[in-house]
Structure 1
């Protein structure tokens, strides 16, 4: 948390981690939903992990001021993150307006991991979930760095870090990334 002189309150600072899987267009969509929180100082850094080493992904990361990692995967990203709270997102996921206020409140009052609520357009009928496996990062993951470090040490990818984690539901919506 950073105290802002004259404003009298602290702003939670996040490191956002996105494992791109060589999906440049989806990365750009996700980054666009983070702009307002970056301008306000809430998003301290965005770390793009790209084992595919795509020139296009590197260019997008460079032009938008992201940290670009090609070695070490999500574990390296978690270790390098500067903030106490991490936000793991799939490329293509877009956070809906008002998300930063919900996250701000959550990190000030809670300690356990949390996930966003899928937007109404992305909610599945209950019976679909019975027959289709869900991606662990479908709804993003907000987690303390101290909790993510041991999970990421031997994780093959960000999905493995998020898989099986219980967490609370944030009072903020996410447009989930396209399946694929």
Structure 2
């Protein structure tokens, strides 16, 4: 059903945290595969991905990963992001009823204050992106990164929380 795509560069610890939050969904069949697109890591990111059973694209672009993905729906995540309890049901509900992309709801501890919302330039993938493969493919042809695919898309809010990746 779902292919998870994660772009990395020297993110071994953050990738491990994200993959840990996906384990239960792999067991129940929600996740079909996890593809890690590496942008030139010099740390042990590849070992973390391989030990977790992920497909690892050492020089792969996000377009290559989208083309290779087997799921009808794609979940793009930042390394370090952790999905909260109940996220698999929220994704299933969204996939059954919606055609438009979706984003998770930030966990309360990660919600910025008023001034932070005004003065920050938020990353488009901070809350993840759930998108149909058919919609992501044409976007990926001109996008250089997963972040570029996620930027500017109208999305529906999913009823599941995400702990966002710490700032870079």
TM-score band, normalised by the shorter chain? over 0.9
Tell me if 1:33 matches 2:21: yes
Where in structure 1 do 4 or more consecutive aligned residues deviate above 3 Å? Answer: none
**Which one of the candidate residues 93, 105, 112 is aligned to 1:124?**
112
Partner of 1:153: 141
The C-alpha deviation readout for 1:68-102, integer Å capped at 9, x for no partner, is 00223111111100000000000000000110011
Aligned equivalents of 1:53, 1:136: Cα separation in 2: 22
Aligned equivalents of 1:98, 1:148: Cα separation in 2: 25
Question: Normalising by structure 2, what TM-score?
Answer: 0.97
Alpha-carbon contact 2:9-2:41 (below 8 Å) kept: no
What 5-or-longer segments of structure 2 have no aligned partner? none
Partner of 2:166: 178
The C-alpha deviation readout for 1:10-47, integer Å capped at 9, x for no partner, is xxx10000001221000000000000000001100000
Aligned equivalents of 1:28, 1:156: Cα separation in 2: 24
**Which one of the candidate residues 139, 142, 165 is aligned to 2:153?**
165
SS in 1 for 2:123: coil
Aligned equivalents of 1:27, 1:20: Cα separation in 2: 8
Aligned equivalents of 1:55, 1:91: Cα separation in 2: 14
Alpha-carbon contact 2:38-2:60 (below 8 Å) kept: no
Count of residue pairs the alignment pairs up:
168
Aligned equivalents of 1:66, 1:115: Cα separation in 2: 23
1:6-85 superposed matches below 5 A: 13-54=1-42, 56-85=44-73
Alpha-carbon contact 2:3-2:74 (below 8 Å) kept: yes
